[in-house]
Amino acid sequence: MKEKEPYILSSEKKIAFTAIEQQQHELNRIAEDLWRYSEPPGKEVKSHDLLVDFLRKKGFKVKQRYMGMPTAFKAEFVKGESREHPNIGFLCQYDTGKSTNHSRGHNLSTVVSITAALGLQTFIKFANESVGMITVIGCPGDAENTGKITMFDAGGFKGLDFILVAYPANYTNVQPNFVGSQTHRVTFRGRNRIDGDRPWEVANPVNAVVLAYQNVAAIRQQFKSSWVVKGVISEGGRQPDIMPQKACMEFLLKVPKPSEMKILGELLHRCFEGAATATGCRFEVEPAVREFLVNVTSNRLSELYQRNAALMGFTFHNVKKDMEDEDDIANVSTAIPTLKVFYYAATPAILGTEEFARFAGSKECQFMSILQGKALAMTGIDLMMSEDNMKEIFEEHQADFVRKYEGIDDISVDPAQE
């Protein structure tokens, strides 16, 4: 297929745009139903069934219980019998997260993905030759917000060439950078003597966790301003007159660069080791949750989205350029060129609040979400129509991966030695 100028409403984009417009009532209904269901992570049964039935009705080949997960699915559309590339993925997340309602707007982000998939499906149907395929993956939530990491590690996104998603917010961020995050569980184990005649052989793990906490406080002057470390003593005995066999604490670490996570981890390890040495305790460190990685980006992919969003009439309100909190899709982005944007959803309500949850069920938010779905569909068309676009994005993705994970642009050393 001959490449076309990607920033005009070409005939191919007009076809996709019209198809979405004709199905807008159905898309609004899906957003409303998901908002009304408000199902917790791992129990999104009604939401899952709604989406599976809808995609099947639209001609997608759907596999339920994807990756053995009861509320996950995989829906594919390709013209003909053979698998095609590029394979463009859209992700649906339809749980309420840690709240009891859609304060994170997952009902809207799902509608964005469904809208984009329908628009791109129409383009594929009317294309004169094979241009690619679509995969929609339903991603269940979990209590630790690591659902996509679990699916990614198990090979759930294998075969995708690109992933395009957009999430509602009270601001706009067209190329977010997500911090890396680790949570360490530290356990100190002590020794006790009942007779008490050899006190130097006693090792109190409570003293160890208190000292470790103080050590971390003392070493904070060696932290970079962009580092975040938060700790809590999670277990320290149950009775004041009985020394426990162990005491535990958890530390949350957040950094903007992968190389800095190693440095920060080594600094904290010194704190734990010093506390163990001083108190005579043994200690062990293990991950409390899965690690969130720093995401890999592509300027070209973000640029295509911005041009198409503007073409669809989106105005970039309240643009944010600060680091975003950790996100499980960042892990996926290390292997697959991924676009995740936050779009202003026609409300100043802060993301994650009760007020935002109320707006997530409104016609205004639905309108903005369908608009974003159109923009992602047009971005998908640009990818399928241009090998140059795909090549540039793949090259940028690889370059950013090498820069971040092989430390080409990072010559940082241990802050304690600076």
The tens digit of pLDDT for each residue in 244-298 reads 999 999 999 999 999 999 999 999 999 999 999 999 999 999 999 999 999 999 9
Summarize pLDDT for 10-51 with one digit per residue, the tens.
Answer: 889 999 999 999 999 999 999 999 999 999 999 999 999 999
Q: Region 129-136: what's the mean pLDDT?
A: 94
**Per-residue model confidence as pLDDT tens digits over 140-198:** 999 889 999 999 999 999 999 999 999 999 999 999 999 999 999 999 999 876 656 67
Which spans in 11-88 are helix H?
A: 11-22, 24-37, 45-57
Which candidate, 119, 21, 96, 90, places its Cα nearest to that of 367? Answer: 21
Q: Specify the pLDDT at position 207.
A: 96
Contacts 24+ apart (CB under 8 A), 402-410: 404/257, 404/258, 404/294, 404/296, 405/258, 405/334, 407/258, 407/259, 410/257, 410/259, 410/260
Confidence band for 7, pLDDT divided at 50, 70 and 90: low
Signed CA dihedral, 8, 14, 19, 21: sign only:
positive
CATH 3.30.930.10 fits 11-177+294-405, yes or no: no
pLDDT above 70 (res 369): yes
pLDDT surpassing 60 at residue 416: no
**How many residues are listed for the chain in this entry?**
418
Is 60 exceeded by the pLDDT of residue 2?
no
Please give the pLDDT value at position 320: 86
**What are the backbone dihedrals phi and psi of residue 67, each rounded to the nearest 5 degrees, phi first?**
60, 25
- The residues spanned by each domain of the chain are 11-177+294-405, 180-291
pLDDT above 70 as % of the chain? 93
**Can you point out the beta strands (E) in 170-244?**
180-189, 228-235
CATH architecture of the domain formed by 180-291: 2-Layer Sandwich (3.30)
The reported pLDDT for the residue numbered 6 is 53
**To the nearest whole number, what is the mean pLDDT of the chain?**
92
